[in-house]
Structure 1
Amino acid sequence: MTTIQGLPAGLTTRPLRAEDSRAVYELIAACERHDVGSVEIEEADLVGDWGRPSFDIASSTMSVHDGDRLVAYAELTSDTRADAHVHPDHRRRGIGTALSGWVRATARARGSAVVGSPVPQGSDGDRLLERLGYFVRWESWVLELPPGAEIAAQPLPRGHTIRTAATEEDQRAAWTILEDAFLEWSERDREPFEDFAAEVMGRPGFEPWHLRLVVDGDGVPVGACHLVVFRGEDTTQGYVQSLGVRRDRRHQGLARALLADAFANAREVGAVSSELSTDTRTGALGLYTRVGMRVRQTWLHRAYDLTRPEPAARPVGSGA
């Protein structure tokens, strides 16, 4: 296992364990309150992600502790993507710099040529990664359908209907449609169905209607949408985790119909607003703004070219 170098004296490290999900959630929540002004995560997100059969928590995570308190962590969620957080009270001590070094070393050991992380634009993490030589690989946005607004129901083509993906056959069809759509622009391997099942159906709180299909007149699935109902500290929101339509069935209003269906279902269970995210790779921003959604946050995916030399060591306390 790759070790972490350059931490301030007195801190300890270890890989995470599944039972750490609550502590990690609380850490990320504190960071999100500081960086974007609201909590954007649920503990269920961590449970679902860590439950993927392809994810080995012992070799893919590193946590930093001050006594018994978790103050920072990083995880390599795939060979080319990492997530990391340092509690606001412990920033500018070199912890973020040390965790970034661990991420790069771990990704290199796995044979990756690049590794990146999403960070809120202008945040402490954004500035740190820029100083360390991370480039902007793409820009992404969180879009919101404001409270009280709704997307008008989109008429479906003749013979098409929207229904719940209630069986494993349906779930595999949804996985195929979503993976095919995302792999048109995403630089990654196809996600195994077992990982999809852990993240979607295995996520605590999942209900069958969270995964919906558009089927044509012959009953063939041609579009899919995965909705998450986020029950936060102060409000309930709908969040479209993924949305895709088969390439040969696009430009018929199916994506808009799925979106209207998802947000209407979220309202029925108490959601006061609904959100989704998209980025510069998809070309879908215009679709969402045209139906009345507005950009609420801007994020950058900053990445490091692992074929480059490592950045020069910085004194402890000079970074996040």
Structure 2
Amino acid sequence: MADPLAGAWPAGYRVRPATALDTDAVHRLVAACECALHGRATTDADRIAADLGMVGGESACDTVLVTGHGGNPAGWGWVRGRRATVHVHPEHRGRGLGAALLAWTEARARELGGDRLSQTVSDSDLAATALLRSGGYAKMVTEWLLEMPLPEEPEVPEPPAGITVRAFRAGDEEAAYRLTEDAFDEWQQRRKPYAEWARHTVGRATFAPAASPLAFAGGRLVGAVLSLDPGDPALDADAVGKEGYVERVAVRRDHRDRGIARLLLREAFRAFYLQGKRSCVLFTHSDTGALPLYERIGMTVRRSSTVYGKALVTG
């Protein structure tokens, strides 16, 4: 079997799989990329740990870490299913690492039996966008990072008739998993196993149950907002404790258009405000159709990204 890390890598770099032990190093790399592009970092170490746990559990070769002199991370990437992610440290751009990492993701995806591959790139990253387009990638969907300023305590509307609301508590995990995955089945590429879902939501060290309100009808879960508190001094010392993050928003199909999502979001915003946060952010994309909802409650676009994809030719 061919070495999954073999390839045309630029001279002077070493290549190996990334593991959970590399979480801090990869986090610094990703934070440096985000600061260079956006002036601030938004990905915390907890998210990197979740990604490494997801891809490393089955095969360490689904990740690649490129290091330069002194062993400092210069680039990294991972592949799982039809998705890939690649980052190149700003100090190592223009040396062919991006092209080498992209080639690795495609080769690895083919070895895993994939027939398509997609990657999300910030619209401000013109070099990465050009690289993907030159490689045959086409635009699939648009993603937006939305923000909600919290200068004062948000007002929360009364629940619709027959709906009760409370904060997430231990024992709600399985019901929240089924609700959110059922809702996301309408547009996501694959349904996540519970363990993978939990690693990115309720199992994260930054999961914020007090800012994760749930809606019930007759004792059955019909709506959920799952939030994180990602404050991290390594990202932005001035912003620590001032920004909350909504990871999931879902309402059961037969209870939509009743104001439940708006109610739960405002409950989450209020919880974050009472904890001292002065803004809250979340990601959405064009396939969900949720952007108008978020804009109606006062959220605005901080930045946008594009998901690019292409068919993989084998042989």
**What TM-score do you get using the length of structure 1 for normalisation?**
0.90
Q: Which residue of 1 aligns with 2:243?
A: 237
Contact 2:208 2:227 (C-alpha < 8 Å) held by counterparts: no
Give aligned-pair identity as a percent: 35
Distance 2:40 2:260 in 1: 32
1:269 aligned to which of 272, 275, 300? 275
Q: Is 2:53 aligned against 1:47?
A: no
CA-CA distance at 1:150 after TM superposition: 6.3
1:125-136 equivalences in 2 (<5 Å): 125-136=128-139
Distance 1:197 1:210 in 2: 17
Q: Which residue of 1 aligns with 2:199?
A: 198
Q: SS of 1:157's equivalent?
A: coil
CA-CA distance at 1:4 after TM superposition: 4.0
1:274-289 equivalences in 2 (<5 Å): 274-289=280-295
Distance 1:2 1:210 in 2: 42
Distance 1:134 1:36 in 2: 24
Letter paired with 1:226: L
CA-CA distance at 1:270 after TM superposition: 1.8
**What TM-score do you get using the length of structure 2 for normalisation?**
0.91
Report the RMSD for the aligned CA atoms in angstroms.
1.9
Q: Which residue of 2 aligns with 1:221?
A: 221
Distance 1:250 1:88, change over 3 A: same
Letter paired with 1:132: G
Letter paired with 1:34: A
Q: SS of 2:229's equivalent?
A: strand
Distance 1:44 1:213, change over 3 A: same
Q: Unmatched 5+ residue regions in structure 2? A: none
Q: Which residue of 1 aligns with 2:155?
A: 152
Distance 2:55 2:246 in 1: 23
1:85-104 equivalences in 2 (<5 Å): 85-104=87-106
Q: Which residue of 1 aligns with 2:146?
A: 143
CA-CA distance at 1:61 after TM superposition: 0.4
Cα deviations by residue, 1:234-279 (Å, 9 ceiling, x for unpaired):
2131111110000001011000011101111111222111111111
Distance 1:288 1:23 in 2: 34
Number of equivalenced pairs: 305
Cα deviations by residue, 1:148-206 (Å, 9 ceiling, x for unpaired):
166531321123122233233x2111111110111111222x11112222222321233
CA-CA distance at 1:219 after TM superposition: 1.1
CA-CA distance at 1:228 after TM superposition: 1.0
Q: Comparing both chains, which one has the higher relative contact order based on Cα–Cα distances under 8 Å and sequence gaps of 6 or more? A: 1
Contact 1:54 1:195 (C-alpha < 8 Å) held by counterparts: no
Q: SS of 1:303's equivalent?
A: strand
Q: Unmatched 5+ residue regions in structure 1? A: 310-320
CA-CA distance at 1:291 after TM superposition: 1.0
2:120 aligned to which of 105, 118, 121? 118
Distance 1:31 1:85 in 2: 7
Q: SS of 1:230's equivalent?
A: coil
Q: Is 2:268 aligned against 1:298?
A: no
Deviation larger for 51-60 or 120-129: 51-60
Letter paired with 2:48: L
Distance 1:149 1:181 in 2: 31
Q: SS of 1:128's equivalent?
A: helix
Q: SS of 1:30's equivalent?
A: helix
